Chains A and B, each alone.
Chain A
Amino acid sequence: MIHVSFDHRLTTDFALQVTAQLPASGVTAICGRSGSGKTTLLRLMAGLEHTHTGDLIIGEQILQNRQTFIKPERRNIGYVFQDARLFPHLSVERNIAYGYRRANKPMPAERCQQLYQVLAIEALMSRDIRHLSGGERQRVAIARALVTNPALLLLDEPLSAIDRDHKHELLSYLSELFQWLDIPVLYVTHGLDEVSRLADHLLVLERGQLSYQGAPENWLPMTSEQTPNRDNKTPEPVVIWRGTVISYESHWQMSQLQVGKHSLAVISPGEIQPGSSQRILIHARDVSIALNDPDTHDCSIQNRLTMTVSCITPQHPYSLITLTSGSLTLYSLITAKSCDGLSLKPGVEVTAQIKATALV
């Protein structure tokens, strides 16, 4: 268990007050809008920000409490900064060696080799860091932090400085890395696709306060304000569902996912073992509603789920429809005109249609 408790006043109108128990394994995403205190929380944990009113205990080791303040260089916590912060006067290899040489118990050599393979950085070793792309920089920064063999890895929005085309690539590296890694990871992000793809556990921060902690699939951001901005589009509600893979069709690069009593077709770029679990992110925009089940095969939409309307929230010119089925909740954002045309009311049974292309 990682016990975190901080009460840190940054300015007169902003204080970070967080108390949480984090699992000692897996990836915990810390999510929230800009200025919610995500980065400050990581900096406090790394000891880069000094506060006397804080506790940080990793397993048995007390890193900080009222009497103790372990300096950042002795905390044995890996930190990957948003802007990578590679040392410009050192090559890739010497950047990585910097932490390795200073570590008490660095990562064993054979494990380092595996790490370089997972992150595909062997070919970059002799390169000048000025000639690395954004994604390459982040991979080197991650390796540099991990070869010190830390007890905890902190990542601060590693995808934020990377262009859209390379985001997906780095996301695949991260996903593979986290499966290989045996230490807990705290991952700050405002991208919900990263949360659904990478995280096992979720903390949501709002103006310095913890507003949610638990499994990502149980988090229901009710209003659009609570959802972090996705790029520049209007904020919209999302849900994260977790399902079990039933089958995988390599020819179509798709898998069939069982979520509750529903079966969904989703795109899976890589081979997935049946029986493993997978999370999907469903944007309210990608869900449309039909009144009666059009049980025909001449429709391109593969996912048709029978659900019940539980709530209709007008968000002119849209209507946000909350749908439920068992313990599952789904949001659908349709135009107010369609909502009126279908005469939707709470309690009505409808068919929610989700394009499989929206589910990755």
Chain B
Amino acid sequence: MNHMTTESWLIELQPDDWQAIWLTIRLALISTMLLLLISTPLALWLATTRSRWRGLMTALVSMPLVLPPTVLGFYLLIAMGPDGPVGQLTQALGIGYLPFTFSGLVVASVVYSLPFVVQPIQNAFESIGREPLEAARTLGAGPIDCFFSIMMPLARPGFISAAILGFAHTLGEFGVVLMIGGNIPGETQVLSVQIYEQVESLQYQRAHWLSGLLVAFSFIILLLLYGFRPSSRTTIWR
């Protein structure tokens, strides 16, 4: 390794490695986008509701934090399979079954990373408080107007945290992918699965490169997230 050059760096990564890298990035980007769309109304509801269902909903959203990914993946596999409710729905809609497809991975990623995206947005909404919203209403802004002109801009740091955490968390997903996606190159073979594959076949050198890449990339992302906010109040959630 001591005579390593740039060329040998590239040689270590095979075309199927690159395929796995791009697939992973594509999965993370699409999942993050969907997560932001789903989490925003959910976080708004959790931050403002006085409903007695709030506790139940928070518990459900937080489940992926504590469940082993294999358990989550197993139930998703069942639900999306021919006998599961999601499977029957997708079949009826003419989409077909989701397990072992890229779309299935997207659905699983969204469920798996949901708490990581909902929490920062919910925290951001809660910290705004009702004060600026009341001021906006006396100035003629209705609830929807208030949301876009006051809440969204004030919650921007929360959205940035949420997007980065959602993206980074999806990058590292393994158990869920393996359960519902298997290991199909170009379709479901993401980076973490590819690393596992290389280790299984004793290709330690390639596994080293891919793992190192993931470590460096994740670290840079988290550094971007926390490094530029030296506030002592910065936590993993905001």
Q: Report which A residues bind B (CB closer than 8 A).
A: 46, 48, 71-75, 77-79, 81, 83, 85-89, 98-99, 102-104, 144-145, 148
**For the complex of A and B, 4 pairs with smallest distance between CB atoms:** A99-B139, A102-B140, A79-B138, A85-B135
> Does B212 count as interface, using CB distance less than 8 angstroms?
no
List 9 interface pairs A-B (beta carbons < 8 Å), by A numbering: A73-B145, A74-B140, A83-B131, A86-B135, A89-B154, A98-B136, A103-B140, A144-B139, A145-B138
Contact assessment for A73 and B132 in the assembled complex, using a CB-CB cutoff below 8 Å:
no
Contact assessment for A48 and B131 in the assembled complex, using a CB-CB cutoff below 8 Å:
no
* Complex CA distance for A338 and B198, rounded to whole angstroms: 101
- Are A98 and B131 also in contact (CB < 8 A) when A72-B138, A88-B154 are? no
A74 CB to closest chain B CB (Å) equals: 8
Chain A residues with Cβ below 8 Å from B139 are 73, 98-99, 102, 144-145, 148
A205 CB to closest chain B CB (Å) equals: 21
Contact assessment for A48 and B140 in the assembled complex, using a CB-CB cutoff below 8 Å:
no
A244 CB to closest chain B CB (Å) equals: 38
A320 CB to closest chain B CB (Å) equals: 42
* Complex CA distance for A46 and B134, rounded to whole angstroms: 10
- Are A81 and B131 also in contact (CB < 8 A) when A89-B154, A98-B149 are? yes
* Complex CA distance for A48 and B138, rounded to whole angstroms: 8
Contact assessment for B140 and A148 in the assembled complex, using a CB-CB cutoff below 8 Å:
yes
Chain B residues with Cβ below 8 Å from A103 are 140
Chain B residues with Cβ below 8 Å from A104 are 140
* Complex CA distance for A79 and B137, rounded to whole angstroms: 10
Chain A residues with Cβ below 8 Å from B145 are 73, 102
B157 CB to closest chain A CB (Å) equals: 11
Contact assessment for B140 and A87 in the assembled complex, using a CB-CB cutoff below 8 Å:
no
> Does B185 count as interface, using CB distance less than 8 angstroms?
no
CB-nearest residue of chain B to A102 = B140
Chain B residues with Cβ below 8 Å from A79 are 135, 138
B144 CB to closest chain A CB (Å) equals: 11
CB-nearest residue of chain A to B146 = A73
B131 CB to closest chain A CB (Å) equals: 5
Chain A residues with Cβ below 8 Å from B135 are 79, 81, 85-87
* Complex CA distance for A60 and B134, rounded to whole angstroms: 26
CB-nearest residue of chain B to A104 = B140
Contact assessment for B150 and A73 in the assembled complex, using a CB-CB cutoff below 8 Å:
no
